[in-house]
Structure 1
Amino acid sequence: MYCFSLGPISLRLSSSSLVLVGAWYTIFATSSVWSGALIRLPKWVFILLLLAPFLMAVIHGRIPHLRRTPEGELYGGFHLPLNMLPGREYGPPETEWLNMGYWENTTIFPEACEALALRVASMACVHSGHVLEVGFGCGDSLLLQLRHPSIPRPVTITGITSLPSHFHRAKQRIEQADLKEKIPTRLFLGDAVFREGTNPSSLTAEQEATVSIMESHPLRYPGNETLYFDSILGVDCAYHFKTRNLFLRQCYDRLTPGSGRLALADMCFEPTSSTPLTYLSKIIAFILRVPSANLIGRRAYRESLEKIGFDEIVIEDISSSVYSGFTAFLRTRGIMWVLFANIITIWHKGGGKFVLVSARRS
């Protein structure tokens, strides 16, 4: 087994994999026969051939930041180096954001991530009420609700995540945060979509300060008839849910009738005229664990919301403020991040749209 350190990323390859990858790139770099053939190949084929070893490594779990943890998590702590501020490359980062970011007027990852979360909060018209945050990562979006000056303090805040490492880290950070107000905070470890017969993961926890563990799923209905949320938010996560449409239906049931609002930073898929790029994008979606049922365009997304009963629906395409800035940033972080940036670029060119979604329960 060989381990190569590439900036903050380590790539582990067996000797056979090393030979395969090395031979692959040697052929492309040195063979005039292949070079001449490649000139005649469509661009999408050339890109696929170049990325094939990377995709194989992802599928076989060779790349740590895209490999599931022993607990079955797709995301671990790979994002922490991305949160390092320029000139502060040593020591733990001050933030632990994990989203693609909103890159207007910034080139700094934590600033872009916070800007995206603020856009979602703005779309939700968050005011002093009961807030549910889905897919809260390591807690930065929750802390944003609890202390950012532009967001009114909620009466209560509830969070859901399916990742144990994120759950425990977020709980720890909120308990240790120096907050001016102690807002009751409830966290739930489990899938974002409620399914009958499932129970939350077994946890033991101290009854600390303002953070408590929920034993009942926040979106359980019926069963939580007295629990309604004024806002339900999700930043860069709903496209992973199985399925997103079921999640939207459950959100509708748990939002305050007549005023509760849903706000998401999400992705749509609108295939381009290039069929090969469309196929490549679907392969990428599979690798990134995006269910095929979630690969729908903005029109179908709106129709789904309307069918559920939502009104005042807004779906805003912000792809130009997300993908270009995010991939430009990744290309400054080392070769493995460059390859990942290329994956994101193919997804975008193949029809991947990054959108802000807002809707009200009627």
Structure 2
Amino acid sequence: MLGFIQRLFKKSRVELYGLDHAVLNIQLPPQTMWMNMGYWESTTHFPDACRALLDRVLSTADILKDQDRNQSIRVLDVGCGCGDQSLHLTSLRRGVLTQNQSETAEASGFQDSSDAAPSLRSQKSSSLINSYIGITLEPSQAALAKSRVQEKRAPENALADSSVDIFCADAANPSSWSGDLQNSIEKLAASSTTPESATWLLALDTIYHFRPSRLPLLQFACHNLNASYMAFDLVLADNISWFQRFILQIICWFLGAPFGNIITKDEYMRLLVRAGYEPEQIEMQDISQHVFGGLAAFLGRRVQEATPFGLKMGKYRGARKVFDWWARTGIMRGYVVVARKSR
């Protein structure tokens, strides 16, 4: 017993002057809780890359162009996470940029002032997103997202004039929705039939997780909500080897994603058509070159930065290897997918 106490005291004395107190200097709560693969074309900063991926999806769907200022835009966001994309979407404003803001937007890589970052838009204009419903499967994420949205929408800190609701539910199974979520969905469906309203289903780096497949949600969105679809999603390359397919199956098991969801571009197109979307209204853009490599490089840097302080990054070491493999081989592709609902 005495020997144990001596060893414990000696160990404590050594660690007292180490680097593990770094955890006391980390800012809590963190300012952001983004979690997607990111769009790394113009940044090496994780939150900026995550926000850029969402903006890339919105731009492809023409939402940031704000072409019809009288149209009511409604968003059902599945896999909304901890509220960062909820806050970002509900902070989007209608309006024009000043000359200085336009120059800033061009310097940030936007080709047209109408594509400019939402944070550069006039704060005196109305909300671009009039109604927002976010769904996440994780209770802890839903609780955090709700609290963050409520804080930002407090009277003294008003963020937007749109309707915002966040729920904990299984987005992959619309038939399981009930209570307040079902009531919100019914209101969304009722307003989706008017020509003044545009409804969108948003799935940002999440829908490949849905069990048993994407199809039930896509059919519900198309037929029950008359909603267009915008997403960042994973797409399988053509003609991969049996060994690569086997490795991907193992990776999907660790990701908690059904391997049946990993399909080729042509199969994805057929899935959307089966859900009810017209082929000529479907757009798929491969942005892999600005996703996997940038994320792998960031994770590598973060592991190196954390190691001297004894911060554990175990699962992210494995993730870095996976994303680097995808970037080098091209067997997995990252696509922006937009399917517009005919009206």
Tell me the TM-score normalized by structure 1: 0.65
Given candidates 139, 161, 164, the residue that maps to 2:139 is 164
Per-residue CA shift, 1:181-214, capped at 9, x if unaligned? 3321122211112354x355xxxxxxxxxxxx83
Given candidates 282, 295, 298, the residue that maps to 1:313 is 282
Letter in 2 for 1:226: A
| CA RMSD in angstroms, aligned pairs only | 2.7
Q: Percent identity?
A: 30
Structure 2 residue 30 is the aligned partner of structure 1 residue 93: yes
> Is the helix fraction higher in 1 or 2?
2
Letter in 2 for 1:356: V
User: Where do residues 182-201 of structure 1 align in structure 2 (5 Å cutoff)?
Assistant: 182-196=161-175, 198=176, 200=178
Per-residue CA shift, 1:291-312, capped at 9, x if unaligned? 1221110111012212333131
Given candidates 19, 28, 50, the residue that maps to 1:113 is 50
Corresponding residue number in structure 1 for 2:182? 216
Give the distance between the partners of 1:132 and 1:289, measured in 2 at CA.
23
Would the aligned equivalents of 1:269 and 1:352 in 2 still touch at CA under 8 Å?
Answer: yes
Task: Report the CA distance shift for 1:192/1:180 in structure 2 as closer, same or farther (over 3 A).
Answer: closer
Corresponding residue number in structure 1 for 2:222? 252
Given candidates 292, 297, 301, the residue that maps to 2:264 is 297
Alpha-carbon offset, residue 89 of structure 1: 4.9
Q: Look up the SS of the partner of 2:289 in the other structure.
A: helix
Unaligned ranges ≥5, structure 1:
1-6, 9-80, 82-87, 201-212
Aligned length, in residue pairs: 260
Would the aligned equivalents of 1:124 and 1:233 in 2 still touch at CA under 8 Å?
Answer: no
Corresponding residue number in structure 2 for 1:226? 190
Corresponding residue number in structure 1 for 2:9? none
Give the distance between the partners of 1:100 and 1:217, measured in 2 at CA.
32
Corresponding residue number in structure 2 for 1:129? 73
Per-residue CA shift, 1:224-276, capped at 9, x if unaligned? 752536111111001001111222111112343xxx42100111112554332
Q: Look up the SS of the partner of 2:333 in the other structure.
A: strand
Would the aligned equivalents of 1:188 and 1:217 in 2 still touch at CA under 8 Å?
Answer: no
Give the distance between the partners of 1:224 and 1:119, measured in 2 at CA.
25
Alpha-carbon offset, residue 343 of structure 1: 2.3
Moved more, 321-330 or 170-179: 170-179
Corresponding residue number in structure 2 for 1:326? 295
User: Where do residues 10-25 of structure 1 align in structure 2 (5 Å cutoff)?
Assistant: none
Per-residue CA shift, 1:66-85, capped at 9, x if unaligned? xxxxxxxxxxxxxxx9xxxx
Corresponding residue number in structure 2 for 1:203? none
Give the distance between the partners of 1:153 and 1:303, measured in 2 at CA.
32
- Greater relative contact order, per chain length (Cα 8 Å cut-off, separation 6+): 2
Tell me the TM-score normalized by structure 2: 0.68
Unaligned ranges ≥5, structure 2:
1-18, 67-71, 94-116, 119-126, 193-197, 304-312
